[in-house]
Amino acid sequence: MRTPKNRSIKRTLTLIILLSSTIPLLLLGVFSVYFIQTSTQSNLNARLNEILMSANELIDTTISNQITDIETMGRSIIQEAKFDEDSKLLPESKENINRGMYQYMRGDKSLQNMYYIMTDGTYTGTYDLPDLYSLPKYQNWGIFRTLEANNAKHAIFFPNMTLNDDKFKPSYSIAYKLQSQGVDYGYLIMDVSTEYLQNILTSVKGTSFGYIQFILTTKADMIIYNDSSFRSQVSFLQNIFRYDRLDIDQSSDVKVQLEDMTMMTRVNEKYGIKIYGLVPNSMLTDQVRFLSISIAGMIAFTGVIATVIGYRSTRKVSDPISELVDRMREIRPYDNDDTKEKYTNELEELSYQFDEMLERISYYHENDNKKQELLRIAEIKSLMSQINPHFLNNTLDSIKWRAKLSGVSDIPEMVTELSVLLKASMNTNPFVSLEEELSFVESYIHIQQFRYKDKIRYFKDIQEEALTYSIPKLIIQPIVENSIIHGIEPSSKEGIIEINSWVDDKTLYITIADNGIGSDVDVLREASKENQGIGIINVNNRLKLHFGESYGLRWESKKGKGTVVFIEIPIEE
């Protein structure tokens, strides 16, 4: 059967593929270029702000740790420093202090200098003492004046961009006045070089826009670190950061230079440090241009490839669909030409026929389930019907034996127990409560006790909650019967039957134990082979039919010791 021409999907697919591959690419190209141009600056600002936050955290953490370490070392010096009669530091103490300084600086000796300056101007340290730290010459100047003015009980951060020589360029200092119980022990000062700051900031300098340039200033606009491209005098750099207050005619070079840079700032209020982050705009424009050209090229290439592949793949897609539609028409239970005409293409017809097929499958499945349920109920009833004559025959046999051996005085009581069993067998309800099932079992055991006199003793331990749960009828009595006939009767000792039951984790557990002769073989398997034990086989099959193959009887038996049968029944909510 051929596909009608007015329902060909080939033309539709070809048109859809061509439009879906070209229009989105064109729109994507236009919006991508526009988006890159408008968003790159905001992305740069966001990234620059993140880097400034990271740099601020690094600097804050570094200075805080240095202050803590200097205070710790200062307290150690107060405890360990020993002086001679002239208040001079003993050589041994001096050596210990120097060793402590070098241990603190570890691998950063070239990037930090540390000095312990006593009140008389003598000192010990890791480098020559700068002139500005000479006491008492500069007692009221610089870092010492700051310590005294603040009456500092803790170490302080002090901007200190003082050039000592070409080898060491300080950036800032950490200073601590050593005092204990009103006694001045001098000052502990650590100079930190610009290279030390550079090493810290290097970890956050890199971005996709290039390396960030940093300038660090204090509240007084003193520059303590500068790795930017602005290589001019300090006073000129200070003016750059007051750009909006400059006379443009007098600082046109500054204006041009600032307009070629993207700059953001962040202030560390704790130590009064202002961090400037700068990125040359040329990096930004170069990146935008490169990305725009790359996107345009990729869009053009993708458009050509998509068009070629779409055209060639149309037939590979449409032909299998048409073939599938034809095959589904062949398996339809009827063929209505009027129904065909309402479809606009093969996909609609395929969808309609697929829905019809699902309805038919659902109908057949429902009917099959009903049949299976009827068969299952019939099989359960058939298996249950086998139980009644089986145990009734054995019970009557017991009555016969008792009548022969003891006369007729006990027969009424036995008949009473038998009536209980007969009522249970006539009950058509396949489920009873555990309490009812136990009453059947106890009637049966009572009858057997007439036969065996004192040879059989019965015990039970039943959880109160378990008595109300429903179980399949007559699943315990056949097991008890099997225990008596095949376990206790052949034994010469007193027989004991014990039934236990409890509820745990949504499962009802039942155990039937005897102290009979036991067996080392699989009881169920042997009973099946020898066509004996129809009762326990029946119970095992019924449990599997009711609850599934994972359920059934579980048997543990040992020759000369006895047998325990385990039953597990799921509790339905």
Q: What is the pLDDT averaged over residues 487-503? A: 92
Per-residue pLDDT of 28-44, as tens digits, reads 777 776 776 677 777 77
Per-residue pLDDT of 187-232, as tens digits, reads 999 999 888 888 888 888 876 656 788 888 888 778 888 887 765 5
Per-residue three-class SS string for 111-170: CEEEEEECCCCCEEECCCCCHHHCCCCCCCCHHHHHHHHCCCCCCEEEECCCCCCCCCCE
Q: Is cis: bond before 412, omega within 30 of 0?
A: no
pLDDT at 237 over 80: no
Per-residue pLDDT of 401-448, as tens digits, reads 666 666 665 665 666 666 667 666 666 678 999 999 999 899 889 888
Residue 61 has a pLDDT of: 93
Residue 351 has a pLDDT of: 78
Do residues 50 and 264 lie in contact, with contact meaning Cβ atoms separated by under 8 Å? no
DSSP state of 486: I
The pLDDT-based confidence of 132 (bands split at 50, 70, 90) is confident
Residue at token pair 């040992």: 558
Do residues 195 and 170 lie in contact, with contact meaning Cβ atoms separated by under 8 Å? no
Q: What is the pLDDT averaged over residues 384-401? A: 60
The answer to pTM > 0.85 is no
Among 122-136, 277-291, 463-477, the minimum mean pLDDT is found in: 277-291
The pLDDT-based confidence of 235 (bands split at 50, 70, 90) is very low
Percent of the chain with pLDDT over 90: 17
Do residues 446 and 423 lie in contact, with contact meaning Cβ atoms separated by under 8 Å? no
pLDDT at 131 over 80: yes
Cα separation, 516 vs 148, whole angstroms? 102
- φ and ψ at residue 305, rounded to 5 degrees: -60, -45
User: Nearest to residue 58, comparing CAs of 277, 220, 278, 228?
Assistant: 277
Residue at token pair 């006895």: 562
Percent of the chain with pLDDT over 70: 70
DSSP state of 246: S
Q: What is the pLDDT averaged over residues 376-393? A: 61
pLDDT at 454 over 70: yes
**Strand stretches in 201-287, DSSP E:** 206-207, 210-211, 213-218, 223-226, 261-268, 273-280
Query: What element of type H or E holds 368?
Result: helix 346-406
User: Cα–Cα distances in Å, from 462 out to 110, 176, 448?
Assistant: 85, 82, 22
Q: Residues 481, 487, 491, 494: what is their CA dihedral angle, to the nearest 10 degrees?
A: -60
Per-residue pLDDT of 509-548, as tens digits, reads 999 999 999 887 666 666 555 555 568 888 888 898 888 8
Q: Please, which residues have CB within 8 angstroms of residue 175's CB and are 6 or more apart in sequence?
A: 70, 143, 146, 147, 155, 156, 158, 187, 188, 189, 190
Q: Provide the residue count of the chain.
A: 573
The pLDDT-based confidence of 378 (bands split at 50, 70, 90) is low
Query: What element of type H or E holds 569?
Result: strand 562-570
CB neighbours of residue 262 within 10 Å: 19
Mean pLDDT of the chain: 77
